[in-house]
Chain A
Amino acid sequence: MAKYIVKRLIISVLTILVLCTVVFFAIKFIPGDPFSGPEYTEQMRQQLHELYGYDKPVWQQYLSYMGNLLHGDLGISVYYRGRAVVDIIAGAFPQSLDLGLRALITATVVGIGLGILAALNRKKPLDYISIIIAIIGISIPSFVVASLLQYVLAIVFPIFPVARYTSFAHTILPTIALALPTIARFSRFMRTSMLEVIDSDFVKTARSKGLKKRQIIFSHEVRNSLLPLLSILGPTTASLLMGSFVVESIFAIPGLGNYFVESINTQDYSLIMGLTIFYGVFLVTINFVIDILYGVVDPRIRLGGNKNG
């Protein structure tokens, strides 16, 4: 197990390294630069290039960036003059994390619950209702869902506050808007996986033991159905916690989502790099945690191939 963890850590670091390199060179190859707008004169542009070191060869820039990175320095934002990328992330991430966690928990509980109910009521009304929810959740884009929620539940019927993110009541609408697609996906996954388990022989064994229905559902069917869900949980968690541009914009939440889009639009080299690395590290870490969870959920998976784990 320890050997496996060390191995995974090395691979993780290498993954991040490759990610940094690819993204670094990719953004340098995009035509133009942060100072190519009409408001800059040729002279200003040259001065700024010198200031940020963009006049040096790309490989030198790369080496110095990586050197700074080792010290945890993600550089200074180009667009948001004078603000360190680390500060921008530290300031915005907590809001995104908060909203993301709420959405993740909601989506997991509701999605899995809905999937279980649908599977247990196969081809009955409840099953069809869950399909309708899933189709709505997957096919309607989040800006429609978010605006609709806001319009109906905050403006036409002023039950919830329209925007901002200060009290519990403020969190409800954005959480629903953010969680809906994930609810849809989780419920479909869970239904399929649960149906497979329901038909399996060991469930017949459980029934032939004379177990109560509740016992069969929870200790055999649900437990065995969760595994496939674990594999989509990693990327889903990362994308929820990293903030959504659409939902955060519509509900005026000062989260990270906005910066992802803005940094690309303004070709803010250091912010793009910073956010990408942050996202990458986050994703790799979560996948790492989930791989270890696999071993907990499924005893057949012995990490590292060592027979006694």
Chain B
Amino acid sequence: MSGEKKEVLFEIQNLCRYFTLDKHNTLKAVNNVSLTIHKGETVGIVGESGCGKTTLGRTIKRLYTATSGKVLYKGQDIFAMNKEQAHKYAKEVQMIFQDPYSSLDPRMTVREIIREGMLNHDIHKGDRAAQDQFIDRLLLMVGLNREHADRFPHEFSGGQRQRIGIARALAVRPEVIICDEPTSALDVSIQAQVINLLKNLQEEFGLTLIFISHNLSLVKYISDRVGVMYLGSMVELAPSDNLYEMPAHPYTQALISAIPIPDPVVQKSRKIIELKGDIPSPINTPDDACSFASRCPYATPACSKHAPKLELVGENHYATCDRVLKGETAV
């Protein structure tokens, strides 16, 4: 899927989400992120834990308000919506959460969990039989069966629960699903099943997926385009294949060199870029420096003097690194 001529669904402009901890400390969870998402595509967001990818997802979902910047959905600012528009937005954009064990209300049966969203968004309004039928169909679709409908969440395994979460999200006929690390709490074998399920459902319903994960191989597999986040900012954005073959930003290069390759010969022969130190604290990060400067192997004094912007470095390929722009790095 090449998304050039596609309809633009999301236009995220300089989105910031800060958390004020106290008078002097601000946590910049999402800092100046801009991103365009087209209808029907899958955008992966990767980064270490704490880099702001979950906050980005939740802000797009309107679970958080933006500190500054805009998110345009079908041309409309989601933070300037009236009640009715917000309700419609809540229906069209669904979210799947990271922890399938805690994200389902333990006091409700699967049927109640799924029906709640349907009632709220008038799916098969007033017709309980049709609702039940739809619930059965949804359960089949996600690989469960109708006998599961009247059980409680604790009776299911993690993978099954995540399937319930997916069925729940699909129940309101959404256009976009934000997947916030939907597989990180699952076994590897189950991860693959859930990912394939998402991929199939996307094709079937023409869904747009925003896929947040720290698992690079997974993101590569499912995404059309991938954005790499570091310390609240998007440092690189490129079509999936490009990004993995020719990473431009030193951080992305380091990340990709760390993906294990299941071939000992190749694995041994390749160069692994090791990053020194830990990820710096996102509290009170300076606005006028490259966020990666403190750990970048190629950092120069100039890197701490101004914050680079996301700029075009190749076909559909954006990065925020001065070196790349000056052509100093062989990508």
A and B from one complex: yes
Q: Which residues of A contact B (CB under 8 A)?
A: 200-202, 204-212, 215, 219-220, 223-224, 297-300
Q: B63 near A224 (CB under 8 angstroms)?
A: no
Q: Which residue of B lies closest to A210 (CB)?
A: B90
**Within the assembled complex, what's the spacing in Å between the Cα atoms of A299 and B152?**
7
**Within the assembled complex, what's the spacing in Å between the Cα atoms of A265 and B63?**
63
**Within the assembled complex, what's the spacing in Å between the Cα atoms of A157 and B264?**
90
> Does B87 have its Cβ within 8 Å of any Cβ on chain A?
yes
Q: A208 near B120 (CB under 8 angstroms)?
A: no
> Does B116 have its Cβ within 8 Å of any Cβ on chain A?
yes
> Does B107 have its Cβ within 8 Å of any Cβ on chain A?
yes
> Which of A207, A208, A212, A220 makes the CB contact (< 8 A) with B105?
A220
* Residues of B in contact, count (CB < 8 Å): 28
Least CB distance from A303 to B in Å reads: 15
Contact A207 to B63, CB < 8 A, known contacts A212-B120, A299-B152, A300-B152:
yes
**Within the assembled complex, what's the spacing in Å between the Cα atoms of A208 and B107?**
18
B91-99, B211-219, B249-257, B310-318: which one contacts chain A?
B91-99
**Within the assembled complex, what's the spacing in Å between the Cα atoms of A278 and B106?**
38
By a CB distance below 8 angstroms, the chain A residues around B227 are none
Least CB distance from B177 to A in Å reads: 10
Q: Which residues of B contact A (CB under 8 A)?
A: 58, 61, 63, 87, 89-91, 94-95, 97-99, 102-107, 109, 116-117, 120-121, 152, 154, 165, 168, 172
Least CB distance from B90 to A in Å reads: 3
**Within the assembled complex, what's the spacing in Å between the Cα atoms of A208 and B182?**
15
Q: A206 near B105 (CB under 8 angstroms)?
A: yes
By a CB distance below 8 angstroms, the chain B residues around A212 are 120
Contact A205 to B97, CB < 8 A, known contacts A211-B116, A220-B105:
yes
Q: B91 near A210 (CB under 8 angstroms)?
A: yes
Q: What are 11 inter-chain pairs, A to B, with CB distance below 8 A? A: A201-B103, A204-B95, A204-B103, A205-B103, A205-B104, A205-B165, A209-B90, A209-B172, A210-B90, A210-B91, A211-B116
Q: A202 near B90 (CB under 8 angstroms)?
A: no
By a CB distance below 8 angstroms, the chain A residues around B63 are 204, 207-208
> Which of A201, A207, A210, A215 makes the CB contact (< 8 A) with B87?
A210
Q: B87 near A205 (CB under 8 angstroms)?
A: no
Q: Which residue of B lies closest to A205 (CB)?
A: B103
A201-B97, A201-B99, A205-B168 given; name 4 further pairs at CB < 8 Å.
A200-B102, A206-B105, A207-B63, A210-B89
**Within the assembled complex, what's the spacing in Å between the Cα atoms of A219 and B98?**
22
By a CB distance below 8 angstroms, the chain A residues around B98 are 201
**Within the assembled complex, what's the spacing in Å between the Cα atoms of A215 and B105?**
13
8 A-B pairs with least C-beta separation? A210-B90, A201-B103, A201-B102, A209-B117, A208-B95, A202-B105, A205-B103, A299-B152
By a CB distance below 8 angstroms, the chain B residues around A208 are 61, 63, 90, 94-95, 97
Q: A209 near B105 (CB under 8 angstroms)?
A: no
By a CB distance below 8 angstroms, the chain B residues around A209 are 90, 94, 116-117, 120, 168, 172
Q: B105 near A205 (CB under 8 angstroms)?
A: yes
Interface centre among B87, B109, B120, B168 (most CB of A within 10 A): B120
Q: Which residue of A lies closest to B92 (CB)?
A: A210
Contact A202 to B106, CB < 8 A, known contacts A208-B95, A210-B91, A300-B152:
yes
Q: B120 near A211 (CB under 8 angstroms)?
A: yes
By a CB distance below 8 angstroms, the chain B residues around A297 are 107
**Within the assembled complex, what's the spacing in Å between the Cα atoms of A33 and B290?**
87
Q: B106 near A298 (CB under 8 angstroms)?
A: yes
**Within the assembled complex, what's the spacing in Å between the Cα atoms of A299 and B98?**
24
Q: A202 near B103 (CB under 8 angstroms)?
A: yes
**Within the assembled complex, what's the spacing in Å between the Cα atoms of A205 and B102?**
10
**Within the assembled complex, what's the spacing in Å between the Cα atoms of A204 and B55?**
13
By a CB distance below 8 angstroms, the chain B residues around A299 are 106-107, 109, 152
**Within the assembled complex, what's the spacing in Å between the Cα atoms of A211 and B119?**
9
**Within the assembled complex, what's the spacing in Å between the Cα atoms of A204 and B116?**
14
**Within the assembled complex, what's the spacing in Å between the Cα atoms of A212 and B84?**
12
By a CB distance below 8 angstroms, the chain A residues around B168 are 205, 209
> Which of B104, B109, B121 makes the CB contact (< 8 A) with A210?
B121
Least CB distance from A124 to B in Å reads: 16
**Within the assembled complex, what's the spacing in Å between the Cα atoms of A163 and B91?**
59
Least CB distance from A8 to B in Å reads: 23
Least CB distance from B55 to A in Å reads: 13
**Within the assembled complex, what's the spacing in Å between the Cα atoms of A207 and B165?**
14
By a CB distance below 8 angstroms, the chain A residues around B109 are 299
Least CB distance from B22 to A in Å reads: 13
Q: B107 near A224 (CB under 8 angstroms)?
A: yes
**Within the assembled complex, what's the spacing in Å between the Cα atoms of A223 and B58?**
25
Q: Which residue of A lies closest to B117 (CB)?
A: A209
Q: Which residue of B lies closest to A200 (CB)?
A: B102
Least CB distance from B19 to A in Å reads: 14
Q: B104 near A202 (CB under 8 angstroms)?
A: yes
By a CB distance below 8 angstroms, the chain B residues around A300 are 106, 152, 154
**Within the assembled complex, what's the spacing in Å between the Cα atoms of A223 and B90?**
23
Contact A204 to B107, CB < 8 A, known contacts A210-B87, A210-B90:
no
Q: A215 near B102 (CB under 8 angstroms)?
A: no
Interface centre among B90, B91, B168 (most CB of A within 10 A): B90
Least CB distance from B115 to A in Å reads: 11
Least CB distance from B210 to A in Å reads: 13
Q: Which residue of A lies closest to B58 (CB)?
A: A204
Least CB distance from B331 to A in Å reads: 38
Interface centre among B89, B103, B172 (most CB of A within 10 A): B103
**Within the assembled complex, what's the spacing in Å between the Cα atoms of A300 and B106?**
7
Q: Which residue of A lies closest to B165 (CB)?
A: A205
Q: Which residue of A lies closest to B63 (CB)?
A: A207
Interface centre among B90, B97, B104, B107 (most CB of A within 10 A): B107
